Amino acid sequence: MRNRNGVRAIRPYLYVLPIILFAVGFVYYPFLKTFLYSFSTVNVKGEITGFAGLDNYAYLFGRREFQAALRNTLVLTAVNVPITLLIASFLASLCVKERPLSPVYETMFALPMAISMAAIALVFRVLLNPTVGFVNHALNLSIGWFEDRNTALFSIVLLTVWMGIGFNFLLFLSAFRAIPAQVIEAARLDGANAAQLLFRVRLPLAVPTVVYAAATNAILALMTNGPIMILTQGGPSRATVTLIYMMYTSGYNSSNYSLAACISICTFLLALCLTLLLLRLEKKKVSYE
Amino acid sequence: MKRSMRDALIQAFCLLLGLFVVFPLIYGALGAFKTPSEFSRVPPTVFPDSFRNFDNFRAVFEKAPMARYFLNSLITSTVSSLVRLVFAALAAYAFAFFEFPGKKPLFILVLGTMMLPAETITVTNYQTVSALRLTDHYLGIMIVSFVGASQMFMLRARFASTPRALREAAMLDGCSDLRFLLFVLLPVSRPVLVTLFLQSFIAQWNSYLWPLLVTNHDEMRTVQVGITMLTAPEATNYETILAGATVALIPALILFLVSRRKLSDSMSGGSLVG
Amino acid sequence: MKKLLIAMMILSLLAPACAFAQQEPVRIVFWHSATEDAGELMAGYIDTFNRTIGAEKGIQVEAVFQGSYSDSVSKMRSILSAGNLEELPDLMQLDATGKVAYQTAENAYTIDKAMADHPEADFSSFLAPAMDNWKLSGEQLGLPFATSTTVTYYNKSLIGQAPDTLSDIANLAGSVEVPEDGCIYACVPNTPTLANWIGQLGGYVVDRKNGSEGMATRLDCLEDGTLQAFLTEWKALYASGALKNVASSTDEFVAGKQLIMTSSSSSVNAMLEKIGGAFELGVAAYPRVSDEAQMGATVSGSCLVMFDQGDARKEAAWELLNYLTGADVQADFAAGTGYLPSSSDAAESAVWQDLIAGNPIFNVGYEQILSTPPAMCSVTVGPSADFYYAIQNDVSEMLDQDLSPEEAVELMEEDLGGLLDQYAKANG
C-alpha cells in the first residue's frame, strides 16, 4: 500500500517528465548558454575563455552591419504585419458568406500556408528575376528586385507577405464567421459600406484575433532569415541583412559565438517587448468595450 | 435577382483574386516544363512550349537523390510530429487530472518555451546536438522539435472539458491512467489530434534552417534543403530550380487540399497553433 | 609494396573464407563544391575513379556536394568547433576562406605530412603561385585543384579593345554606346579583388603578408596609402559613370547589357555557351588600378585538403587526391570549364594545347598567373566571411553615400580592424 502511494505520488511527474526534459535540454539550456556567451569571450571552438562584461554588446551596437540588420528587421516587421493583416482580413471579409464556389477560392487564399519557404523563395527568385522573370516583363518595369539595394528589402517583404496570407486568412475567416449575422445585418441597414463593415464592425469585434495575428506575424517577421539565406545573403550592400541572418552568419559562418549570442538576446528582447505591447493594447481595447 | 447577380460578381472577383494569390505556384509549375532556351526568350513567357518536356523533373531526380530526400522528410516529419503529440498528451493529462506539488511552476515552464523563439537558440542547440554526435541522424533533425507547448495547452483544454465522471467511472472499473488516456481520452479527442498532427507535419516538412545545419551527407538531407542545393546562388539553370521547387511542394500541398476543411473548421475552436 | 603484395596473397588464399571481408572496400567521403559544368565533370571523375583505380585498390568514394565554398567551410568550422572530427570528410575541396580553420583541425592531414609519409611524391611540376596559395605559415595545406584567377571579360563586338587600367574603363563612358538599362562595368570589390588592386600597388591588405605568414591582426594597407589610392581610383571610376555599384551579373553580361565584367577565369566555357555567338567574347588580363600599378591578380579557386580518418582511409584519400590533381584530370577539367591547369604537366598535355590553339582566350588566365609578381598573394584572415562582406559593403557605401576616400578609409579601418581585433581577442 505504501509502495502504491509512492508510485501515485511520482506518477504526475513521470507524465510531465519527457516534455520538461526536452524543454530544459533544448530550449532553456541553450538559452542560458546563449545568455552566458553574450557576456563572455568565446573562442572558435565555443569555449568560454573569459568574462567580457558588456564589451560584446558595445562592439555589436557599434557595428554598422548590426545597425543595418536592426533597421532592416524593424522595417520588415513594421511593413509586413499591417499589410499581411490588411490583405488577409480583406480576403476573409469577402468570404464570410458561403457561396457555391467558396470552397474553391477559400482554398486558393489559404494555399500559401502549405507552401514551403524554400520552394516559394526559389520560385520568386525566377519570377522576380530582372532579365528572365515574368513580373518585370508583364508590368513593363525594369526593377532589379532582389538585386537592387533600394528594392531588395521590399522584395523580401513581398515574399513574406505572400507566405503569411494563407494562415492569417483562415484565422480571420473563422473570427468573422463567429460574429453574429444580426450584427452585420444591422450595420448594413445603417448604410455601412463594405470598407466600413470591415474596419468599423468586423475588425473591432475580432480584436483578440487581430492581436493574436499581429503578434504571431510580428514574431515571424522578427525572425526572418530563410528567404535571406536563399535569395540575397544579406546583400546587396547590407540592404537585406536581418538580425537572425546576422546571428547565423556570425555564429555559424564565422564562429563568433559571443556576437551571435548578443544578437540572439537582442532579438529575443525585441520579440518579448512586442508581444507584451500587443497584449497590453488588447487589454486596453477590450476593457473599453 | 439583384442579390444573386451580386453573389456571382463577388465569386468571380474572388476567383480572380485567388488566381492572383496562387499565380507564383502556377508560374513555378509551368516553368518546370520549359527548356533552358525558353527562359532566355524575349519577352518571357508563362506557358511552356510543351507539357511533355519532363527533362527537368528527370534532371532533378538524377542530379540528386530526390527520392531519398522525400523519405527523409517523410520520416522526420511524421516521427517528430508523433513524438511531439505524445509528449504533449502525457503532460496535458497530468496537468488536467492530477494535483501535485510544483504543478503550476512546471506548467509555466512548459508554456514559457513559447516565449523563446527557436531561431534565437539555433547556434547553441547546434552545439548540443553536435556534441551528442547526432548530426546526420534523423534524431538530430527531430530532437529540437519535440516540445510542443501550444499542443500541450490545446490538449489540456480538451482533456479538461471531458466530464470528470467519465474518468472516475473508468477508474472504478480498474482502468489505469495510461489505459484511460490511450483508449478513452485520445479516441474522443481525435479531431483535435488530427489537426495538431497535420499542422505539426506541415511545419516540419517545410522547415529549412535546422535540417540544413545538422546534415552533412547527401542521403540525410530533407527535401527543402535538397532543392536549394540543386543550384548555386548565382546559377542560371532556372528550369531545374523550378522543377525542384514544384516537386518539393507536392506532398504538403496534397495533404493540405485533403485536410483543408478540417484545418479551417478547427480554427473556429481557436486551436490553430504554429 | 612488398607488404601489400604479401597481404594480397594471404587475402586471396583466404578468399573463400572471407569473401565478405573482401567485398568491403575502403569507403571515403569527398566534399566538393562543384556546380553546373564543373559539377558534371566532377561526378564523371569520381565515377571513373571508382570504376578504375578505386575498383583496383579497393576504394569507394562517396562524393557529397556541400553547397558553395562558404557553405562547405561553415560546415567544417562547426564540426571543428564541436570536436566531432570523424564527421569530417577524407578529402575536401577548400577555398581560401577555409585555410585558417583547416589548419586548426587536429586531424588535418596536410600535404607536408602526407609528403613525409610518401617521400616519392613529386609535386615540382605544379605552378608555384598556385602551390603557394595553399600554404599557410610555411605549411603546405593542400594541392591546387580548381585553379583560377580573376580576368576581364569584355564584349569585344562593342568595345573592340580590352581596357588596361581602371581609367581606361572610365574613358569608355561617353565614347561607347551603352545598351538601354545597361552599364559599362559593374563590380563591388570583395576580399580577393581588393587584394588584387592593393597588391598591384605593392601593398598588402592585412599584415604578415596578407596573413600568409601567420595570423593577421591589423590592416596593412592604411599606412602605405595603398587603400586610399585604390579608393580614389574607384571613386573616379564611379564618377565617370562607367561603373555600376552592384555585383556584376553573368545574366546581364551575357545578354549584352553589361560590357565589362571581372570574374573568375573558370567560367570561360560557360560564358561562351551562354553567349552562343550573340557577340564576340573577349578575355584579357585583370585591369590595373592605375598607370603606376604592376599587372596581375592573385590565384583564386580551390585546393584539395585531406583529413586523417585512420590509416586505410588516409591512404585512399591520398590516391584520390593524386588522381584529381594529376595531369589528365587537370587538363580535362581546365578544358571543360576555364579553370587553369594546375601543373605544367597538365598544361603541356595535348588536350590543353589543342584547346588554346583553337581558342586563345582560354590561355589568358594561365599567362596572367605566370606573370603576376610572386609577392601578390591572397588574403587569409580568421573572420573570413565577415571580412569579405564588410569590404563589399564599405566600398559600396562610399559610392552610395558619396563619402570621400579618406572617410571610407576610416570606415574600413574601424570595420575591418574591429573584425580582426575581435577575432584575435577571442582566439589569440
Per-residue model confidence as pLDDT tens digits over B113-164? 988 888 889 888 988 998 888 988 999 999 999 999 989 998 998 888 888 8
Count Cβ neighbours within 10 Å for each residue of B199-238 and write b for 16 or more, e otherwise. Answer: bbbbbbbbbbbbbbbbbbebebbbbbbbbbbbbbbeebbb
Question: What is the percent of chain A where pLDDT is above 70?
Answer: 96
Work out the average pLDDT over A192-216: 87
Residue B43 grid coordinates = 519577352
pLDDT at C412: 94
**Residue C21 reports pLDDT greater than 60:** no
Note whether C427 contacts A64, CB cutoff 8 Å. Answer: no
Q: Which chains touch A (3 or more CB pairs under 8 A)?
A: B, C
- Cβ within 8 Å of residue B174, ≥6 positions away: none
C396: chain A residues, CB-CB within 8 Å: 236-237
More confident residue, C365 or B63: C365
How many Å lie between the alpha carbon of B257 and the closest alpha carbon of chain A? 7
User: For residue C17, is pLDDT > 50?
Assistant: no
Q: What percent of chain C has pLDDT over 70?
A: 95
Q: Are residues A160 and A260 in the same domain?
A: yes
- Does residue B267 surpass a pLDDT of 80? no
Residue A48 included in any domain: no
Contact check, Cβ <8 Å, A259/C422: yes
Q: Give the residue with greater pLDDT, A275 vs A35.
A: A35
Do A206 and A113 lie in one domain? The reply is yes
**pLDDT mean over B196-212:** 87
Q: Touching check for C75 and chain B: CB below 8 Å?
A: yes
- The answer on A103 and A29 residing in a single domain is no
Q: Do C64 and B229 touch (CB under 8 A)?
A: no
Residue B265 has pLDDT above 80, yes or no: no
The number of folded domains in chain A is 2
Q: What pLDDT does B230 receive?
A: 78
**Residues A175 and A230 reside in one and the same domain:** yes
Half-sphere exposure of C17 (CA within 13 A, CB side): 5
- DSSP structural state of residue C340: B
Per-residue confidence (pLDDT) for residue A102, from 0 to 100: 87
pLDDT score recorded for residue A18 = 95
Chain B contact for A180 (CB, 8 A cutoff):
no
Percent of chain A's residues with pLDDT above 90? 44
- Find residues 96-115 of chain A whose CB sits inside 8 Å of chain B: 97, 99-101, 103-115
Query: What's the confidence (pLDDT) of residue B234?
Result: 61
Q: Where in chain C is the domain with CATH 3.40.190.10?
A: 8-147+300-370, 149-299+376-427
Q: Look at residue A206 in the predicted model and tell me its pLDDT.
A: 87
On the question of pLDDT at B226 being above 60, the answer is yes
Q: Indicate the pLDDT class of residue B182, thresholds 50, 70 and 90.
A: confident
Interface test with B, best of C28, C62, C87 (most B CBs within 10 A): C87
Distance spanning both ends of chain C, measured CA to CA: 45
* Contact criterion met (CB < 8 Å) for A256 and C101: no
Cβ atoms within 10 A of the Cβ of A62, count?
Answer: 12
Cell 580614389, residue located: C232
Q: Which of B61-75, B219-233, C40-54 has the lowest mean pLDDT?
A: B219-233
Is C415's CB within 8 Å of A45's CB?
A: no
Q: Does C188 touch chain B (CB under 8 A)?
A: no
Task: Report whether A220 contacts A275 (CB < 8 A).
Answer: no
Is residue C159 pLDDT above 80, yes or no? Answer: yes
Closest in C418, C423, C427 to A63, CB measured: C418
Q: How far is C203 from chain A (nearest CA, A)?
A: 26
In a domain, A50, yes or no: no
State residue C86's pLDDT score. 87
| pLDDT more than 90, % of chain B | 29
**Is A180 within a domain?**
yes
- Across the interface, of B130, B217, B234, the residue whose CB is closest to C78 is B130
At residue C317 the predicted structure's pLDDT band, cuts being 50, 70 and 90, is very high
CB contact under 8 A, A37 and B124: yes
Q: Which domain does A6 fall in, by range? A: 2-37
Return the minimum-mean-pLDDT range out of B47-51, C19-23, C280-284.
C19-23
Note the pLDDT of residue A131.
78
pLDDT of amino acid B147: 94
CATH number at residue A220: 1.10.3720.10
Answer whether C87 sits within 8 Å of B131, measured CB to CB. no
Alpha-carbon gap, residue C127 to C141, rounded angstroms: 15
Distance from CA of B47 to the nearest CA of A (A): 11
Which residues of chain B lie closer than 8 angstroms to C87, CB-CB? 135-136, 216
Q: What is the DSSP string of C52-78?
A: THHHHHTEEEEEEE-SSHHHHHHHHHH
Partners for B (CB, 8 Å, 3+ pairs)? A, C
Assess whether pLDDT exceeds 50 at residue C19: no
Nearest to C105 by CA among C241, C356, C307, C260: C307
pLDDT tens for C90-104 read 999 999 889 988 998
Nearest CA in chain A to B264: A170
Q: What nine digits make up the cell of C52?
A: 578504375
| The pLDDT value given to residue A74 | 96
Place of cell 504526475: A12
Whether A171 is in a domain gets the answer yes
Among A129-133, C25-29, C52-56, the minimum mean pLDDT is found in A129-133
% of chain C with per-residue pLDDT over 90 = 64
Question: Do residues A69 and A173 share a domain?
Answer: yes
Q: Average model confidence (pLDDT) for chain B? A: 85
Residues A76 and A24 in one domain: no
Q: How far is B233 from chain C, CA to nearest CA, in Å?
A: 8
Task: Identify the CA nearest to B147 among candidates B123, B126, B116.
Answer: B116
Out of C245, C246, C422, the one facing A256 most closely (by C-beta) is C422
Give the span between the Cα atoms of C3 and C392, in whole angstroms.
55
pLDDT surpasses 70 at B66 = yes
Nearest to A41 among C80, C397, C425 (CB): C425
Q: Does A273 touch chain B (CB under 8 A)?
A: no
Contacting residues of A for C255, CB less than 8 Å apart: 131
Round to whole Å and give the CA distance between B91 and B156: 8
Contact C287, C165 (CB under 8 A): yes
From chain C, the residues in CB contact with A44 under 8 A are 77, 80-81, 101, 104, 382, 426-427
Chain C 248-277, CB below 8 Å of chain B: which residues?
250-251, 255, 274
Give per-residue pLDDT as tens, A253-274: 777 889 999 999 999 999 999 8
Question: With a CB-CB cutoff of 8 Å, which residues 15-54 of chain C face chain B?
Answer: 29, 35-36
Q: Are residues A265 and A160 in the same domain?
A: yes
Strand locations in C85-142, DSSP E?
91-95, 108-109, 135-136, 139-140
Residues in chain A: 289
Q: Please indicate whether, in this complex, the C-beta atoms of C386 and A258 are within 8 angstroms of each other.
A: no
Helix (H, G, I), strand (E, B) or coil at C354: helix
Q: Is the domain of A170 the same as that of A240? A: yes
The CA-based angle B257-B263-B264, given to 5 degrees, is 100
How many Cβ contacts (< 8 angstroms) between chains A and C?
92
Please indicate, yes or no, whether residues A92 and A145 belong to a single structural domain of this protein. yes
Q: Measured between CB atoms, which of B86, B119, B260 is closest to A107?
A: B260
Residue bearing the bigger pLDDT, C422 or C314:
C314
For the cut 80, the answer to whether the pLDDT of residue B235 exceeds it is no
Backbone φ and ψ for C27, nearest 5 degrees, come out as: -100, 130
Q: What gap in Å lies between CA C193 and CA C391, rounded to an integer?
A: 10
**Which of B216, B229, B232 has the CB atom closest to C87's CB atom?**
B216
Which pLDDT belongs to residue C5?
53
Confidence of residue A188 (pLDDT cuts 50, 70, 90): confident
User: In the prediction, which pLDDT does C410 show?
Assistant: 94
Q: Which residues contact C87 (CB under 8 A, 6 or more apart)?
A: B135, B136, B216, C79
Domains of chain B: 66-229 (1.10.3720.10)
Q: A171 and chain B: CB distance < 8 Å anywhere?
A: yes
Q: What is the model's pLDDT at position A141?
A: 80
CA distance C302 to C96: 7
Specify whether A134 is located in the same domain as A99. yes
Please state, in angstroms and rounded to a whole number, the distance separating the CA atoms of residues C195 and C197.
Answer: 6
Query: What confidence score (pLDDT) does residue A43 get?
Result: 84
Domain presence at residue A99 = yes
Classify the C-alpha dihedral B256-B226-A237-A140 as positive or negative: negative
pLDDT tens-digit readout, A146-175: 988 889 999 999 999 999 998 899 889 988
Q: CA A247, CA A225: separation in Å to the nearest integer?
A: 10
Residue A54 lies in a domain: no
Q: Does A11 touch chain B (CB under 8 A)?
A: yes
The DSSP letter of residue C341 is P
d(CA B108, CA C29): 46
Domain C8-147+300-370 has CATH 3.20.20.140: no
Residue ranges of chain A whose CB lies within 8 Å of a chain C CB: 41-46, 49, 59, 62-65, 129-132, 142, 144, 147-149, 234-238, 249-250, 252-256, 258-259
Is the pLDDT score of B269 beyond 50? no
C149-299+376-427 CATH pick, 3.20.20.70, 3.40.50.1700, 3.40.190.10, 3.40.50.20 = 3.40.190.10
Q: Where are the alpha helices (DSSP H) in chain A?
A: 2-23, 29-37, 55-62, 64-95, 102-110, 117-127, 134-138, 152-177, 181-189, 194-196, 203-205, 207-222, 226-227, 243-248, 257-288
d(CA B26, CA A207): 35
Instruction: Work out the average pLDDT over A173-197.
Output: 87
Q: Is the predicted pLDDT of residue A89 greater than 60, yes or no?
A: yes
pLDDT at C79: 85
